[in-house]
Copies of this chain bind each other. A is one copy, B any other.
Amino acid sequence: MRRASPAIKALVFDVFGTVVDWRGSIIREGKRLGREKKLAVNWEEFADAWRAGYRPAMARVRSGELPWTRIDDLHRMILDDLLRKFDIHGLSKDEIGDLNRVWHRLRPWPDARRGLQRLKKRYVIGTLSNGNVELLVNLAKNGGLPWDVVFSAESFHHYKPDPETYLGAANLLGCAPDEVMLVAAHKDDLFAARACGLRTAFVRRALEYGPAKRADFKSESAFDFNVGDFIQLAERMCGRGGAR
């Protein structure tokens, strides 16, 4: 029942939430900092608020209100606000800078590294993230993520879901759009990639927003794959000598 499609040559991955657990990582580092500095902060709320500021901050760049600004600097703008809102005092400039770089130290989901290693044997694998290049390289170094190539919004001076990002990655890989598949935990990202002609794989990251929050994890027939994690994706794409 599948339409005839060319073989997939490359997989590009959304990173925040799809490959790495931003919420758990920020909470863990926040709690450690809180103990050291005797800060009474609800770090779950803090992590959620930081992430919630990300989309509006990017929207200001996408609309042209702000010139190109890398995520590190957007994260810092949001953080400076949060330090006031959460009444956090007594951090030195270096400590604030280090806290901002928690985004360079986010931990991969438990299946991520192993799944990527398997997928890498058959496909070119790369990031396609709104994170800046330095951040993505540090995430990979810290988490042992074996990317063949790092694509960032920074390379295109466009943030996802602008088409320049999806089409830019395919172009640099020398691929037609439908030879490249976006792997992501977020449907809006996948639908935008699909509108550009890319293939799509939805990964259910049930804990991305914490155990309490219910997001939309329903499979979509519009996507080429709907999977629970990267191991399952590797089994579907590489298992038994190359099923599909």
Contact = CB atoms under 8 A, between A and B. Distances in A.
Interface residues of A, number: 18
Q: How many copies of this chain does one complex carry?
A: 2
A149 B148 contact: no
Interface stretch (A16-24, A87-95, A130-138, A204-212): A130-138
Interface string A164-185: 0000000011110000000000
Given A149-B150, A150-B149, A155-B155, A172 B133 contact: yes
Contacts of A234: none
Interface in A137-171: 137, 140-141, 148-150, 152, 154-155
Given A124-B141, A149-B150, A134 B72 contact: no
Given A137-B149, A140-B148, 5 more contacts: A132-B172, A134-B173, A134-B175, A148-B150, A150-B150
Interface of A: 72, 124, 132-134, 137, 140-141, 148-150, 152, 154-155, 172-175
